[in-house]
């Protein structure tokens, strides 16, 4: 019997960082960077960075819930970005860097609300993660695919993504794909 694949759409700042984390999880079938939540059809990276399309940089995560649950993905989501800074992750500032969960079903909406409430105790400031209904996912340009894998020595990758990935690997080593 074929695996039942589900989709999670998460915005946690730069999609290069998010992709680099979620790609390493056992049970994740694919991760695609893109844009969601805006009013422009098929937006470009430049348009989204212009801050007036309404889109958020997101990753679309295809996963097997028999191997890794949606709640597990959300725990990792909250462990790998700061959900207390509106429209900002570190030096990345703008509405495209909002912390957001685009729920794909009522069950995901309920789980997300529960995780947000539980995780608030881990943060001194209020969680500002937007809990939004499913919206059109627009894939990012191909140049963004596997960005960290393709460009590990690029300065942003080396100084921002690499430390985040190492911290994630230590904290969630039990959830990594074999050989990672």
Give the catalytic positions in this structure. 14
Contact 33, 20 (CB under 8 A): no
Residues in a beta bridge with 8:
61
Residue 128 burial by CB count (10 A; 0-12/13-18/19+): exposed, middle or buried? Answer: middle
How far apart, in whole angstroms, are the C-alpha atoms of residue 134 and residue 137?
9
**Residue 115: closest CA among 98, 106, 124, 127:** 127
Calculate helix-pair angle for 70-79, 15-22, nearest 10 degrees.
130
Cα 14-20-23 angle, rounded to 5 deg = 130
CA distance 67 to 75: 15
Count, residues in the chain: 180
């Amino acid at each position: 019997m074929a695996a039942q694949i589900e989709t999670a759409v998460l915005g946690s700042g730069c999609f290069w960082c998010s992709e680099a984390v979620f790609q390493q999880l056992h049970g994740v079938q694919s991760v695609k960077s893109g844009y969601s939540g805006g009013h422009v059809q098929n937006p470009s990276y430049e348009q989204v960075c212009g801050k007036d399309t309404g889109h958020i940089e997101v990753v679309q995560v295809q996963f097997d819930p028999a191997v890794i649950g949606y709640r597990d993905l959300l725990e990792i989501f909250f462990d790998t970005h700061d959900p207390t800074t509106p429209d900002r992750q570190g030096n990345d500032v703008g509405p495209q860097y909002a912390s957001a969960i685009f729920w794909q079903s009522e069950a995901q909406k309920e789980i997300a609300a529960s995780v947000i409430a539980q995780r608030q105790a881990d943060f001194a400031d209020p969680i500002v993660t937007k809990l939004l209904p499913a919206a059109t996912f627009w894939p990012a340009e191909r140049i963004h695919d596997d960005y960290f894998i393709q460009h590990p020595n690029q300065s942003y990758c080396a100084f921002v993504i690499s430390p985040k990935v190492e911290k994630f690997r230590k904290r969630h080593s039990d959830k990594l794909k074999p050989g990672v």
